[in-house]
């Protein structure tokens, strides 16, 4: 069995993917045309050539510009459908998907419009492929804590299908503490809490995501390794870290994939999963991330199975569904053993 077949056969969850980061250039062009908008690129190839980033901010500037072509509920439906079909083909059984409401409300597009598009696409994809998905509403950390609170107030009538809040965008200089009130309010509404921390920002931001925001899962968290006390805490409390190797390579968090700390994180006993982040911009969906860590980091078959298992355990699924997926993973391991 090829590594591609093996990866596809592993039942897995994807826990760190921004829906706006799944906007492939061809869909971006067709939506721009349909909506009578211009883009800073003339062709799909020109767009792809512009996807060479020096850091997180250089990516975010292009990513927010790209998202502006999303105008109608149908656009959001097509975006979500395209992602879910790709994810299902990669063996993803369940996805917890970030969306950035302020990127859209800031352009005058209301919650109902994009939530209708997302929810219809999730329901239809579930019927078509069996995949399930929940949404994670992110606050943009380059905007203020007050704006996050106002966004949450706007969201309150539209929270069906939203399992958690998250924190994304420009990390350096925008610490978690600024969003303490918004997170407290979200948790009081019954939402779970995750946060991007330790991607470009220091380990101190991981501490404050845990202690100030009450984050139950850390997105990226690769810089946690710089703080031994933090690593011990994350291991002891089994705090999941959603790691995105191809993203870290594209945004120069690491110089080469061979330098990625994922194997060290696994050896240290951290509950890490592998995810795609913004696959249309970083050159690979979740299956590509599994394949590339096998090729470049030597993560063997047992390691890939362990990562798929971690992704299930790290999700916000009910225990009964987690157990079903763990059983399915064990069956797929047995089938592969028989084929080998
Ligand atoms: N928004 C989309 N992708 C992101 C990332 N990798 N880090 C922070 N914010 C993001
Ligand atoms: Zn992210």
* Mean pLDDT score, 301-317: 98
Whole-number pLDDT of residue 337: 75
How far apart are alpha carbons 297 and 216 in whole angstroms? 28
CA end-to-end distance (rounded Å), the chain: 7
Domain ranges of the chain: 3-339
**Probe target for ligand 1 pocket from 19, 21, 172, 209, with the most ligand atoms within 8 Å of CB:** 21
| pLDDT value at 340 more than 70 | no
Q: What positions carry a catalytic annotation? A: 199
For 238, the 3-state DSSP assignment is coil
* Unique residue bearing structure tokens 């991007």: 196
| pLDDT value at 216 more than 80 | yes
Selected from 3.90.600.10, 3.40.50.720, 3.20.20.140, 3.40.50.10440, the CATH number assigned to the domain covering 3-339 reads 3.20.20.140
Q: Could you tell me the pTM of the whole model?
A: 0.98
Counting ligands in written order, the one closest to the CA of 253 is: 1
**CA contacts within 13 A on the Cβ side of 220:** 29
17-67 pLDDT tens trace: 999 999 999 999 999 999 999 999 999 999 999 999 999 999 999 999 999
* Mean pLDDT score, 239-256: 98
Taking each helix axis as running N to C, give the angle between helix 145-155 and helix 180-188, from 0 to 180 degrees, rounded to the nearest 10: 20
- Pocket flag, ligand 1, residue 168 (CB < 6 Å): yes
Average pLDDT score over the chain: 97
| pLDDT value at 146 more than 70 | yes
């Amino acid at each position: 069995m090829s590594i591609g077949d093996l990866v596809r056969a592993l039942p897995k969850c994807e826990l760190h993917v921004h829906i706006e980061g799944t906007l492939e250039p061809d869909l971006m062009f067709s939506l721009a045309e349909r909506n009578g908008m211009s883009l800073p690129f003339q062709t799909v190839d020109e767009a792809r050539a512009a996807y060479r980033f020096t850091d997180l901010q250089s990516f975010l500037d292009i990513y927010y510009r790209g998202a502006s072509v999303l105008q109608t509920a149908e656009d959001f439906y097509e975006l979500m459908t395209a992602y879910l079909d790709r994810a299902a083909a990669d063996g993803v059984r369940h996805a917890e998907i970030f969306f950035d409401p302020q990127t859209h409300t800031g352009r005058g597009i209301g919650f109902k419009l994009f939530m209708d598009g997302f929810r219809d696409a999730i329901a239809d994809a579930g019927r078509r492929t069996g995949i399930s998905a929940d949404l994670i509403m992110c606050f943009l950390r380059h905007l203020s804590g007050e704006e996050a609170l106002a966004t949450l107030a706007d969201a309150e009538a539209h929270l069906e299908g939203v399992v958690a809040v998250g924190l994304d965008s420009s990390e350096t200089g925008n610490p978690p503490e600024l969003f303490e009130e918004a997170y407290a309010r979200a948790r009081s509404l019954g939402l779970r809490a995750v946060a991007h921390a330790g991607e470009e920002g220091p380990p101190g931001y991981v501490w404050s995501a845990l202690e100030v925001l009450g984050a139950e899962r850390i997105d990226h968290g690769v810089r946690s390794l710089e703080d031994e006390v933090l690593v011990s805490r994350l291991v002891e409390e089994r705090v999941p870290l959603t790691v995105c190797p191809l993203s870290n390579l594209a945004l120069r968090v690491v110089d080469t994939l061979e330098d990625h700390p994922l194997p060290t994180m696994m050896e240290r006993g951290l509950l890490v999963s592998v995810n795609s982040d913004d696959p249309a911009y970083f050159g690979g969906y979740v299956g590509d991330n599994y394949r590339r860590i096998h090729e470049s980091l030597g993560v063997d078959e047992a390691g890939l199975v362990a990562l798929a298992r971690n992704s299930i355990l790290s999700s916000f699924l009910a225990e009964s569904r987690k157990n079903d997926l763990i059983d399915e993973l064990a069956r797929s391991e047995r089938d592969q053993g028989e084929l080998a």
